[in-house]
Amino acid sequence: MQTQPVDKSLGPLPSHRDWGATPASREQEERTQAAGTMEIVYVYVKKRSEFGKQCNFSDRLAELHIDIPPNPELAEQFMERNPVDTGIQCSTSMSEHEANTERFEMETRGVNHVEGGWPKDVNPLELEQTIRFRKKVEKDENYINTIMQLGLIMEHCVKQNNAIDIYQEYFDDEDAVEVTEEAPSAKTINVFRDPQEIKRSATHLSWHPDGNRKLAVAYSCLNFQRAPEGMSHDSYIWDLESPNRPETVLKPSSPLVTLEYNPKDSHILLGGCYNGQIACWDTRKGSLVAELSTIEFSHRDPVYGTIWLQSKTGTECFSASTDGQVMWWDIRKLSEPTEVVIMDITRKEQLENALGAISLEFESTLPTKFMVGTEQGMVISCNRKAKTQAEKIVCTFPGHHGPVYALQRNPFYPKNFLTVGDWTARIWSEESRESSIMWTKYHMAYLSDGAWSPVRPAVFFTTKMDGTLDIWDFVFKQCDPALSLKVCDEALFCLRVQDNGGLIACGSQLGTTTLLEVSQGLCNLQRNEKNTASSIFERETRREKILEARHREMRLKEKGKAEGREEEPREEEVSINLEELVAKAEEEFFNVIYSEMKRKETEALKKPTEQKQSPEEEAEEAEPEVQGQGEDEEEEEEEQEEGPEETPH
């Protein structure tokens, strides 16, 4: 790079003419480029007046301008420092710079492909017109050339796919994996936060049925009449790879408490609203509600459970609410429910006696049975195909001390089901109705949700109000969870496990959905795990049956003793009454005898021969005077006459 020296201190050259770069300098630059000594050349072009006075350099002898001789007196003001330590950095000095790169946000948009490209005068629905147009296009020379060119590209792709399959699973045939000694672990891989300023609770989660690459989250405030003003009603569908912005926004008329994907059609979602209505969305039609139940025939309380039924049409579902009703619906006609069952365990079908439903369970292998978890802590087993309404409630299980927030059958052994409520999680068997066969210890924090692992029969998950996720493996450890993970500081409200068991989504009180990935040991079936879990369930069921029989015997004995005790107090009461009567008669008898003896004594002492009476005798005579029974008037006059004589004493 060649530049001319500039000395602006000398001032600009007094000239009225504009100057550019000199021809000599340009020739020199061209020679430099031609020689190849310097690849990069930057030419400064500006006016000559801005260069200032031209500098002229020449050779000359050195000149001494200032000479300061040494002053010995100044040395007295200083002290010599010996030795001197000086740090020397041997490595090259480096500097660190940080820069924020431009943020790149990704956005996914769906496209619905329909048959197009037809001219305006051709109706694609008319078969004759389309055939006629195709024949016309096929005769065109450009059409043949285009097909030949595209055919070569397609042939190359087909051969490439035949050579190697990039999606081939090499170890997909193995059913079980050897038991690994890897410690159970989980890690957070993504966090989806509620984009609204006024935060709401994430009340329900649902995985996309195809590939599980999307997650639907329902947001609402469950505090009765305490919802903040301006709170949004929107719920979202998130793409796991883009947590910054939701992929789809669902706009209900009332906040959603529950939200479920249709397993047969991934574009259809079913939602239960806070005001009791049932809403249905078709994501191909946009964010607005596609179908909505009429409020007159809907639930009276928030809808806490919605489940799709395994039907041929894929349009049937049912819902449950705390108003004590379970309703069946067909989304093709949501104006009114097709069937209603009232959760009245007295079998009188009275809505005021119904128990509020807060969780639902339906197993496709048992199409006529369903289970309901209630606010009162009881689990109700029902049969939809019963002849009468009263027979639809089959039996009850005395579950928890509080609401049953989660209820789910074991995916491998449907006779055993999991319930979560109060401070414990319990495992039940349909054969033992009086008590659960297994249960966790009482935790310090309230439990809010739970679910079985879809791939391991002995693993289940629970969430707590202190923000902790517990993973239980009762084959590995029964007293404590195999892994306890602090997910967030606020309370966790809901939990959902992916179909392959590797990912877990947890929704919190502030609307934050955390996505966790568990270790391979927790999401792969272990060797002989099915047999082990089955034997544990059978053993605990037998034990509970024996205990129930023993308790029934003890209750019968106590009932018999209680009936015998009721007869014994009657005999004791009769005996007590007789003893009291005898004692009272004896007391009266001795009182009569005592009074007679006193009277005779007083008569013997009060003879006319006696002139004086002692104070003791006077006291003895005072008692008959108080009694006043059987004494003559003459004796009273004598006592009054003798009284003044004894006054001095």
Beta-carbon-side half-sphere exposure of residue 578 (alpha carbons within 13 Å)? 5
- Sheet with 424-429, edge to edge strand ranges: 404-409, 416-421, 424-429, 438-439
Q: What is the pLDDT of residue 155?
A: 92
Q: What is the pLDDT of residue 88?
A: 80
Whether 42 has a pLDDT exceeding 80, the answer reads no
Fill in the amino acid letter for 546.
I
Mean pLDDT of 88-99: 80
Summarize pLDDT for 320-351 with one digit per residue, the tens: 999 888 998 988 888 888 888 888 888 777 78
Q: Is the peptide bond between 263 and the residue preceding it cis, with omega within 30 degrees of 0?
A: no
The Cα 430–Cα 275 span in angstroms is: 34
10-19, 119-128, 253-262, 385-394: range with highest mean pLDDT: 253-262
What's the maximum distance between 2 C-alpha atoms anywhere in the chain? 183
Sign for the pseudo-dihedral over CA of 493, 320, 211, 457: positive
Q: What is the pLDDT of residue 29?
A: 53
Mean pLDDT of 304-315: 88
Please state the φ and ψ torsions of residue 492, each to the nearest 5 degrees: -90, 135
Split at pLDDT 50, 70, 90, the class of 471 is: very high
Query: Strands, DSSP E only, in 181-222?
Result: 186-192, 201-207, 214-220
The Cα 387–Cα 154 span in angstroms is: 62
Which of 135-149, 176-190, 385-399, 583-597 has the lowest average pLDDT?
A: 176-190
Summarize pLDDT for 384-433 with one digit per residue, the tens: 887 777 778 888 888 788 899 999 999 999 899 999 988 999 998 988 88
Whether 474 has a pLDDT exceeding 70, the answer reads yes
Mean of all residue pLDDT scores within the chain: 80
The Cα 235–Cα 219 span in angstroms is: 6
Fold of domain 186-536: Methylamine Dehydrogenase; Chain H (2.130.10)
Answer whether 433's CB lies under 8 Å from 395's CB: yes
The Cα 503–Cα 516 span in angstroms is: 6
Split at pLDDT 50, 70, 90, the class of 1 is: very low
Q: What is the pLDDT of residue 125?
A: 81
Mean pLDDT of 218-241: 85
State what percent of residues in the chain have pLDDT above 70.
Answer: 83
Overall pTM surpassing 0.95 (yes/no): no
Q: What is the pLDDT of residue 7?
A: 43
DSSP SS3 for 357:
strand
Token representation of residue 201? 């609770």
Q: What is the pLDDT of residue 630?
A: 43
Answer whether 192's CB lies under 8 Å from 202's CB: no
Split at pLDDT 50, 70, 90, the class of 39 is: low
Summarize pLDDT for 549-602 with one digit per residue, the tens: 888 888 888 888 887 766 555 555 545 567 788 888 888 888 888 888 888 888
The total number of residues written for the chain in this structure: 649
* 157 vs 52: which has the higher pLDDT: 157
Residue written as token pair 């004493």: 649
Please state the φ and ψ torsions of residue 500, each to the nearest 5 degrees: -85, 0
The Cα 280–Cα 273 span in angstroms is: 11
DSSP SS3 for 558:
helix
Split at pLDDT 50, 70, 90, the class of 80 is: confident
Q: What is the pLDDT of residue 113?
A: 67
Whether 616 has a pLDDT exceeding 60, the answer reads no
Q: What is the pLDDT of residue 16?
A: 40
DSSP SS3 for 266:
coil
Query: Strands, DSSP E only, in 438-564?
Result: 438-439, 447-452, 459-464, 468-473, 483-486, 492-497, 503-508, 513-518
Beta-carbon-side half-sphere exposure of residue 243 (alpha carbons within 13 Å)? 11
Question: Which of 295, 251, 285 is closest to 271 using CA atoms?
Answer: 251
Mean pLDDT of 606-619: 52
Which of 46-50, 446-450, 484-488 has the lowest average pLDDT?
A: 46-50
Q: What is the pLDDT of residue 17?
A: 40
Q: Residue 118, Cα to own-chain centre: how many angstroms?
A: 52
Sign for the pseudo-dihedral over CA of 623, 624, 628, 633: negative
* 354 vs 18: which has the higher pLDDT: 354
The Cα 309–Cα 384 span in angstroms is: 12
CA separation, residue 225 to residues 143, 229, 355, 497 (Å): 68, 11, 22, 31
Residue written as token pair 């005072």: 622
Which H/E stretch holds residue 398? strand 393-398
The Cα 48–Cα 450 span in angstroms is: 83
Which of 170-174, 235-239, 446-450 has the lowest average pLDDT?
A: 170-174
The radius of gyration computed from the CA coordinates of the chain, to the nearest angstrom, equals: 50
* 332 vs 113: which has the higher pLDDT: 332
Answer whether 305's CB lies under 8 Å from 285's CB: no
